[in-house]
C-alpha cells in the first residue's frame, strides 16, 4: 500500500473513532473524499483487521454495572512454554468466550504478572462468584491473582472510557 492510501485510511479511521455512527457520505464530506472511496476504505480496514467491529461504548453504570475489575494473573511457568502451554491456553480461551462480562483479556508484562482481563460486574457478590468460577475452572493454570476494582457509580471519574480521543493521538511518524 502506498503512502497516500495509508494516509487516506488513517483519516477515515480517525473519523470513525470520533463517531462510527456517521454515514460514509458525512465522513466523505468531512475529509474531502468521495462516498464510494470512504466505503471502499472502510471495507479494506475491516478485511485487513484494522477494524474488528463497530460498536457503541455505553455508560456501563447506566447498564447496571457497578464494578469494573482489572484482574492480573500469573500463569504457571510451565504453561508459558510453547508446546505444553497450548492446551491451557485453549482452555482459558474457551472459558473467556463463555464470560460475556469479560470485555478484554490478553497476555501482559509488569507487576510480576503475565495476563490481564477486564470485566464488568453488577455487584461485589457477583464479582466474588466470578472469581470463584475462575478458580474452579482454570485456577489450576495460575499461581497468583490480583484485582483492582473500579466503582462505576462514581460521578467524579478522571477520564471516561472512550476511543474518540485516539483520533487526535499523534502517530510516531508525524
Q: How many CB atoms lie within 10 A of CB 89?
A: 15
Q: How many CB atoms lie within 10 A of CB 142?
A: 19
DSSP string, 68-133: EEEEEEEE-GGGSSHHHHHHHHHHHHHHHHT-TTEEEEEEEEETTEEEEEEEEESSHHHHHHHHHH
Vertex 16 angle, CA 10 and 22, to 5°: 140
Domains for the chain: give ranges and CATH numbers. 3-56 (1.10.10), 60-151 (3.30.70.920)
> Using alpha carbons only, how large is the chain's radius of gyration in Å?
20
4-38 tens-digit pLDDT: 888 899 999 999 999 999 999 999 999 999 999 99
121-138 tens-digit pLDDT: 999 999 999 999 989 988
Amino acid at each position: 500500500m502506498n503512502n497516500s492510501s495509508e494516509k487516506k485510511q488513517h483519516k477515515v479511521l480517525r473519523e470513525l473513532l470520533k463517531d462510527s455512527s456517521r454515514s460514509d457520505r458525512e465522513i466523505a464530506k468531512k475529509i474531502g473524499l468521495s462516498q464510494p472511496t470512504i466505503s471502499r476504505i472502510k471495507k479494506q480496514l475491516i478485511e485487513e483487521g484494522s477494524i474488528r467491529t463497530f460498536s457503541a461504548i455505553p455508560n456501563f453504570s447506566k447498564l447496571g454495572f457497578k464494578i469494573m475489575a482489572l484482574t492480573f494473573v500469573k500463569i504457571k511457568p510451565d504453561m508459558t512454554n510453547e508446546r505444553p502451554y497450548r492446551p491451557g491456553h485453549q482452555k482459558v480461551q474457551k472459558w473467556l468466550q463463555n464470560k460475556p462480562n469479560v470485555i478484554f483479556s490478553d497476555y501482559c508484562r509488569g507487576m510480576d504478572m503475565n495476563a490481564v482481563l477486564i470485566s464488568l460486574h453488577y455487584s461485589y457478590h457477583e464479582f466474588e462468584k466470578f472469581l470463584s468460577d475462575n478458580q474452579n475452572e482454570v485456577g489450576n493454570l495460575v499461581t497468583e491473582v490480583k484485582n483492582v476494582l473500579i466503582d462505576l457509580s462514581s460521578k467524579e471519574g478522571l477520564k471516561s472510557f472512550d476511543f474518540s480521543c485516539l483520533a487526535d493521538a499523534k502517530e510516531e511518524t508525524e
